[in-house]
Amino acid sequence: MTEPEPTYLDYNATAPLRPEARAMIMEVFRHAGNASSLHQAGRNAAARVDRGRRQLASLLNCTPGELVFTSGATEANNLALRASHAAGEALVISAVEHPAVLETAQDLTRDRPELLTKLPVDGDGTVDLEPLREVCAQERLSIVSVMSANNETGVLTDLAPIIKLAHDAGALVHTDATQHVGRIPLDLAELEVDLLSLSAHKFGGPQGVGALFIRRGVPLPYRPLLTGGGQERGWRAGTLNVSGIAGTGAAAEAARLNLVQEMQRVGTLRTLLESELKRRVPGCRINGAGTRRLPGVSSVTFPGAPADAVLAAMPEVAASEGSACASGAPTPSHVLLAMGLNRDDADATVRFSLGHATTEDDVHHAIEATVRAVMHVRTAMAAEAEP
């Protein structure tokens, strides 16, 4: 007999493929066709790509020509930073960026680490802009890259003042919006970032597809990561991933059509999860609760109950400790440490993330499993500590 599927509350690691995306991908797989070929099969493939690009542009309110398809947000972040940064210029990021930005920024300033500024955050995960003001006043700044929504806590950044400071200093602004896109509205006609990264698998598209938005007219030095056949206007060589891009478009459209209702529905489920955990698990704390967060993310610290033990005691629920990209690594979450948690509390933090296919039953199931698992771990730890 096969095991029942666990209740899936790990949308920030990856969201389940939306049915609309699956149907589109299967349909594209039925046909051969390279989007660069001139014959009919190639033109059909190119039409699928064009449609996917238009659908994604419509979710973001940008023009299709401002999108470069990539293999995901890791590549989009690399392209954004590596294309904009020039040796000897200062670079500003936040202390809570995903490793795809953090490591890339560190790599770019390896020879002169003093050129990299990491903006600290307060206890709620809100970015402190003071060091940005100082850098703007003193250095020649190439790019400011601050994520719009944090993958571990869901905390949202107010990007407007960052954009103003950076633009006044003549710098470009990039945002890693991987956790934001398709979850809550994002309007690139209003949000004046120059560059924005996203990843399809976070909003119900396939894994291995992402995009970098490059605003038209932005003076970006032409430095592609991959050179070759000149696809994507030279920004990203390689045969286009027709099925992946078409599936991304279908997922983007499905997300766009229900964005506001879904936001409210998922927000209500998150409130249910958090209020029940707070009521039933003594001492538990919600990280980032004092500020604006994505509706579907809940980072919960259970003092005295290490997250690895809690998750092992509730295999019927798929949730995450820290972020999935860092899991397996013994280091505690840099995001939670930057928010001022001590190491024990950071290690005792579970991330639940909800999304388009999450039901109220899923949440009730997760509440029961979590309460039981935390109590079990706390009891076991207390017994171990007995002399």
Q: For residues 136 and 143, which CB has a smaller minimum distance to ligand PMP in the complex? A: 143
Q: Which residues between 105 and 124 bind ligand PMP (CB under 6 A)?
A: none
Does position 378 interact with ligand PMP (CB under 6 A)? The reply is: no
Site mask, ligand PMP, residues 269-288, x = CB under 6 A? --------------------
Whether 247 contacts 56, CB under 8 Å = no
Q: For residues 231 and 353, which CB has a smaller minimum distance to ligand PMP in the complex? A: 353
Number of residues that bind ligand PMP (CB under 6 A): 13
Using the rule CB under 6 A, which residue among 98, 270, 293, 356 binds ligand PMP? Answer: 98
Q: For residues 118 and 378, which CB has a smaller minimum distance to ligand PMP in the complex? A: 118
Which distant-in-sequence residues (6+ apart) come within 8 Å of 153 by Cβ? Answer: 125, 287, 288, 293, 297, 299, 335, 336, 339, 351
Does position 73 interact with ligand PMP (CB under 6 A)? The reply is: yes
Let me know if 107 is exposed, middle or buried by CB neighbors in 10 A (0-12, 13-18, 19+): exposed
Q: Which of 357, 361, 351, 295 is nearest to 13 (CA)?
A: 351
Helix (H) or strand (E) holding 116: strand 116-119
Whether 76 contacts 210, CB under 8 Å = yes
Instruction: Pull the structure tokens for residue 350.
Output: 């579970």
d(CA 223, CA 219): 12
Does position 178 interact with ligand PMP (CB under 6 A)? The reply is: yes
Q: State yes or no: is 325 an active-site residue.
A: yes
Using the rule CB under 6 A, which residue among 33, 52, 206, 210 binds ligand PMP? Answer: 210
- Of 44-52, 70-78, 252-260, 287-295, the segment contacting ligand PMP by CB under 6 A is 70-78
For strand 320-321 and strand 349-353, is the pairing parallel, antiparallel, or unpaired?
antiparallel
User: Which amino acid is located at 3 in the chain?
Assistant: E
- Of 68-76, 259-267, 353-361, 372-380, the segment contacting ligand PMP by CB under 6 A is 68-76
| Active-site amino acid positions | 325
Residues in contact with ligand PMP by CB under 6 A are 72-74, 98, 100, 147, 151, 176, 178-179, 199, 210, 325
